[in-house]
Amino acid sequence: MSVLICDSNCELWYTYAEELGIPFISMPYIYRGEEECFYDLGKQTDFKAFYTAVRGGAVPRTMALNPENYKDILRPYFERGEDVFYISFSHAMSGTFGSLDLALKDLAEEFPERKCTVFDTKAISLGAGLQVEAAARLKKDGASDEELLAFLEEFRGRVGCYFEVDDLMHLKRGGRLSAAAAVAGTMLGLKPILTFNEEGGLSVYERAMGRKKAMRMLAEHCIKEMTAPEYPVYVLDADCEEEGDRLAALIKEKRPEANIRRQPVGPVIGSHCGPGTLAVLFIGDRRPIPLK
């Protein structure tokens, strides 16, 4: 028997994680001095305090877990005789998975009869969360690990994700955008629409002139490309709730059948994209293909 787990970088809201019985690995971040925080999928997170601090000049940091952290997380499952099916955020986004590999190597010697299957969603935030939730519902209906893996391999290629950030300097600080591109984009009022590439990293899909145009482009992609209304459509905002509501309304106007879920961007993801970020995530026929 296996246990399906995820990490908090999937940003699946805690009520859905609890409903489906999904344990999760809480990912760490720092924004108040050296006080280490761990994202809890929104259960007790003070989003306003986090974004107020960032708007006030705080520079948040995220951290990778070390091998001992992963061993402490996984060992109890193996001790109970359970295998683990871990649906993770994109391995291209963090060095933390090097630590996971080391931990699994040590645990394989300690528990040779146990197995940990790691599936890379090649996405982050609800791009990963959509995959976690869909797989968890299948598992609840009795799907085997082999069936889950086959489902996810296909489903991963259908996740549509588009987002734009309000301040390009946050992407520059996180190494997601060059300094020259950030300065030029800021001066010209350019708003790049970003998506995930085939490797699970971030790439520019297209560029908009100004915030309002960018919001309309986000809505248009969902309106045109969402083909599976049985899955939720996520509209996320990083401390710009009114704009997120407008984006949701634009989508609902043209696609009234859409099951839109509104959420804030969590502090780990928000550490890299910054306040003012807007995103839309849904299931279509294929993932967006970014600009080369």
Q: What is the pLDDT of residues 180-203, one digit of tens each?
A: 444 344 444 678 899 999 999 988
Give the CATH number of the domain where residue 162 resides.
Answer: 3.30.1180.10
Whether residues 21 and 106 share a domain: the answer is yes
Boundary residue ending a domain (156, 186, 219) = 156
Residue 288 lies in a domain: no
Whether residues 145 and 263 share a domain: the answer is no
Least confident segment among 75-79, 98-102, 210-214, 260-264: 210-214
Boundary residue ending a domain (116, 140, 156) = 156
What pLDDT is attached to residue 209?
86
- 282, two tokens: 């849904």
Whether residues 173 and 206 share a domain: the answer is yes
Whether residues 143 and 165 share a domain: the answer is no
Q: pLDDT averaged over the chain?
A: 92
Could you tell me if 39 and 29 are in contact, meaning their C-beta atoms sit under 8 angstroms apart?
A: yes
Residue 245 lies in a domain: yes
Give the CATH number of the domain where residue 145 resides.
Answer: 3.40.50.10170
Whether residues 143 and 199 share a domain: the answer is no
Residue 291 lies in a domain: no
Residue 47 lies in a domain: yes
Average of per-residue pLDDT across 251-263: 98
> Tokens 């804030």 label which residue?
264
Whether residues 112 and 181 share a domain: the answer is no
Average of per-residue pLDDT across 118-125: 98
Residue 292 lies in a domain: no
pLDDT above 90 as % of the chain = 82
Number of folded domains in the chain?
2
Boundary residue ending a domain (132, 156, 180) = 156
Give this prediction's pTM.
Answer: 0.93
What pLDDT is attached to residue 189?
63
Whether residues 91 and 36 share a domain: the answer is yes
Average of per-residue pLDDT across 215-221: 97
Residue 224 lies in a domain: yes
Residue 15 lies in a domain: yes
- 283, two tokens: 């299931």
Residue 290 lies in a domain: no
Better pLDDT: 67 or 182: 67
What pLDDT is attached to residue 1?
76
**pLDDT-based confidence at residue 170 (cuts at 50, 70, 90):** low
Average of per-residue pLDDT across 224-250: 98
pLDDT at 176 over 90: no
What pLDDT is attached to residue 187?
41
pLDDT at 210 over 70: yes
Whether residues 150 and 162 share a domain: the answer is no
Whether residues 207 and 278 share a domain: the answer is yes
Whether residues 6 and 148 share a domain: the answer is yes
Least confident segment among 12-26, 187-201, 274-288: 187-201
Q: Which domain holds residue 223?
A: 158-283
Whether residues 214 and 93 share a domain: the answer is no
Whether residues 211 and 255 share a domain: the answer is yes
Least confident segment among 30-39, 67-76, 263-272: 30-39
